[in-house]
Structure 1
């Protein structure tokens, strides 16, 4: 692929990719680099450590020319990346490599290129005569359940920033995405009573009851697949669920007293995630009662516990809302339907901020070996965010009158 215009922000993309921020590790090395750069340009970032102190969210505001810090646009990005364990890379995943018009490296696509472009344009943001503020929001642990996102939207609210519009820069090939499904990860732990397999009446088999639960989950999946509700804007037009991890038992001749099941469901807007969770709790409660009834005198040893490990709300923004209208005016491509993957956008939208997803790169490259972002996509993002600065610039607005 021929590349005629190298991205001006290339050095920042390379710098961020070089910092290994795999979710299991700390993101502080990246946060500290960004914080120092912001301070060098007169911007005082707010850092919000997690409970461990090993990770942090960052929120920074470039105020309007009149000093206003409330309102405006927030640019959202997550700092963590998925592991490279077991993947076959043709180059070091944390040594950015350019070939054939692409920049290869873990996080290049998902989603450090967007953040890098914003940082590259920071001097221009600071120098601009802004009519409304710009905010930068960088989170931790998006890849393991949008954990930092759940906190950062509250932190933004507590700071009184009240952005009107949010752009989450996940890879969309610079196309506006207005909707995605929710993500819900649940774990169900079945605790039975162990016994020798020759004395099965003296035990309560956790695996067998977990299997009944799994059958119920599959029944829910089949019902959604055949009966809906449906939203044809999605490639998979209905709510989905699947059991993806099962662990239980200690030996082939022992009645299993423990089994753990993990399942996920992703819902369209017509299905309320809270109602789905309650339906699953009802199934778990019924199975628990059946398990306790097998040996009533030992019922207190038996349990079924359902825990919600992560919930990420879906996004369902208006195709004619202020965020979409702004993005299209800035040169983003028109929406082409809804997407099945999840982002932090739903968390921002739940706080009343009109939110879209729009960023450089293709989601098909995210998480894969030899992850890459097209250099042309970085240039397109530079043009998009540059147009945003111009749009918010009072001098540009005056010149256009």
Structure 2
């Protein structure tokens, strides 16, 4: 039997695949409530005898779940994943996005790798993980609204921080192909509203064209991004070793013969150092306003540029110097550097004081795409890691 075939014979693999099928069946696109999947997970962990806590958001339509097992008087380990997924347009998929389909060695479905595959492995491994006797506690955490700005994780992090003995390490199950990731960029998403003065386009020299000025701001953002690429600062452990900035959404204008009086767009700044990111953001705002506002207001005193933060989340620092990481290091997967995509690791660090790393099944290159999939062998590798981790937790 080949090594690959042997790997797929893990005794809990069938359970992980079955749980993944059920998890994908919940349409937890961020615009929707996630209460059904939280209730499903809570029932499962309740039946295992774990202590469960549900943290609702202010609307009551979204919730986080924390399931704990093990002693309370020593630092434990968090296994954390988010329940929400990005939208899926069925017309662009080869199969129904919220019905798991197996094709060869791949399992297709929205959230299969980002990141319900990790949650399915946690569910499949949980009965063995909690058999004990555990020397340290496990905290299984499942959040809402990670995909739209890590909105749910702060409540989890703060809850854990208020425990008599908080956890000593968080393992975030974002897709990392089961490599250890010890750094992640932060992000600021900013909405810009350019207000000009419109009218019939035949009189355009007498107007302030909001779309035109928005395009000039976007060009300045692009210039700044190219400067990061040339000048840094650099950290070559990252997959993209410098900060990046780009516009991602835009809307403006009402007709082909009307000078636009309003244009809105969104741009992001992904940074290695979140504190420096806010300094850079303010420098960009100052540069744009100093350059463009005088021109705009020569034509119309009512013209202006409005800046509104849509969301931000912090970078995840290097947790390899923390006490629990160093004790765990001999059993952890090989290091895979640092990543440019976002995770809740920085939130656990900033809001909870909990050092964090990323270890999860699947490839980030498959996330957020039509026909998202996870390789079955990635689930097997995750289950094998949980076997090793569970054994360590009975000795550690």
What is the TM-score when the length of structure 2 is the normalising length?
A: 0.89
Contact residue 51 and residue 69 of structure 2 kept, 8 A: no
Offset of 1:257 from its aligned partner? 1.1
Cα distance in 2, alignment partners of residues 59 and 318 from structure 1: 22
Determine if contact 1:239/1:271 at 8 Å carries over to the other structure: no
- Is the 1:81–1:143 contact (alpha carbons within 8 Å) kept by the matching residues of 2? yes
Contact 2:319–2:325 (CA<8 Å) still a contact in 1? yes
Change (3 A) 1:328 1:104: farther
Q: CA deviation at 1:86?
A: 5.0
Is residue 294 of structure 1 aligned with residue 298 of structure 2? yes
CA distance in 2, matches of 1:207, 1:89: 34
Quick one: distance in 2 between partners of 1:182 and 1:381?
Answer: 26
| 8 Å CA contact 2:274, 2:315 repeated in 1 | no
The residue number in structure 2 matching 1:3 is 5
Q: Conserved in 1, the CA contact under 8 Å of 2:319 and 2:357?
A: no
SS in 2 for 1:389: helix
CA contact (8 A) 1:146 1:312 kept: yes
Deviation, 1:323, is 5.7
Contact 1:284–1:305 (Cα < 8 Å) also in 2? no
Question: 1:244 and 1:89, CA in 2 relative to 1: closer, same or farther beyond 3 A?
Answer: closer
Question: What is the SS of the residue equivalent to 1:218?
Answer: helix
Structure 2 residue 124 is the aligned partner of structure 1 residue 120:
yes
User: 1:85 corresponds to which residue?
Assistant: 89
1:24 maps to which residue? 31
Evaluate the alpha carbon distance shift between residue 41 and residue 234 of structure 1 in structure 2; reply closer, same or farther with a 3 A threshold. Answer: closer
For residue 267 of structure 1, the aligned residue among 260, 268, 271 is 271
Q: Does 1:152 align with 2:153?
A: no
Please say if 1:338 is aligned against 2:352. no
2:19 to 12, 17, 23: 12
Q: Pick from 58, 69, 81: which aligns with 2:65?
A: 58
Matching of residue 368 in structure 1 with residue 375 in structure 2: no
Cα distance change, pair 215–102 in 1 and its aligned pair in 2 (3 A): closer
Q: Whole-Å Cα distance in 1 between the matches of residues 256 and 100 of structure 2?
A: 49
Find 2:54's aligned residue among 27, 47, 53.
Answer: 47
State the aligned residue count.
Answer: 388
For residues 60 and 162 of structure 1, the distance between their equivalents in structure 2, rounded to whole angstroms, comes to 14
Q: How much has 1:73 moved relative to structure 2?
A: 0.7
Structure 2: distance between partners of 1:310 and 1:70: 34
Q: Is the 8 A contact 1:113 1:360 kept in 2?
A: yes
Matches within 5 A, 1:115-194: 115-160=119-164, 162-194=166-198
Q: Deviation at 1:140?
A: 0.8
* Alpha-carbon distance in structure 1 between the residues aligned to 2:340 and 2:268: 13
Paired with 1:32 and 1:148, the residues of 2 have a C-alpha distance of 16
Provide the alpha-carbon RMSD of the alignment. 2.4
Q: Deviations over 1:42-95 (max 9, x none)?
A: 32321112232221111122131xxx1662111110001122215533333222
Distance 1:357 1:58 in 2: 19
What's the TM-score once normalised by structure 1's chain length?
Answer: 0.88
Q: Secondary structure at the match of 1:76?
A: strand
